[in-house]
Amino acid sequence: MTNDATLWMTLHEHLPRSTWIPIADIYLIVQQRLHLDAEDMECLNMRSLSPRWKSNVRRVLYTKKRDGTISGRETL
C-alpha cells in the first residue's frame, strides 16, 4: 500500500502552486505518477465503492491543511 509520505511527495512535486485544484485532477495526478498496488485498489469498507488510495489522498490533504502546510482551497 502506498504510504502517506509517498502520496504527499507526489502531490507536492506535481501539482501547481497557489491555485485551487479539483479533487478529480488530484486523483488523476496520483494515478498517473504512482504504481497503485492491489491493497491501494481495495474498497475502504463494505459501504464504499471508492478505492482506499482515494481516501488516503483526502486524509493526507486534510492533515496538511490542519497543520498549516496548505490552506484549504487557496493553495497546495
Name, in order, each residue with C-beta under 8 angstroms of 43's C-beta and a sequence gap of 6 or more: 49, 50, 51, 52
* Residue 44 in domain: yes
Residue 28's domain spans which residues? 4-13+22-66
Q: Indicate whether 75 pLDDT > 60.
A: no
- Spatial contact of 5 and 60, defined as CB atoms under 8 Å apart: no
Q: Are 57 and 4 in contact (CB under 8 A)?
A: no
User: Does residue 36 form part of some domain?
Assistant: yes
Over the stretch 21-73, which tens digit does the pLDDT of each residue have? 999 999 999 999 999 999 999 998 888 889 999 999 999 999 999 998 887 66
- Number of independent structural domains in the chain: 1
pLDDT score recorded for residue 18: 83
User: For residues 63 and 73, what is the distance between their CA atoms, to the nearest angstrom?
Assistant: 14
Q: 40 in a domain, yes or no? A: yes
Within a domain: residue 31? yes
Residue 72 lies in a domain: no
27 occurs within a structural domain? yes
Looking at residue 74, what is its pLDDT? 47
Check residue 25 and report its DSSP letter: H
pLDDT at 13 over 60: yes
pLDDT the model gives residue 73: 60
pTM: 0.87
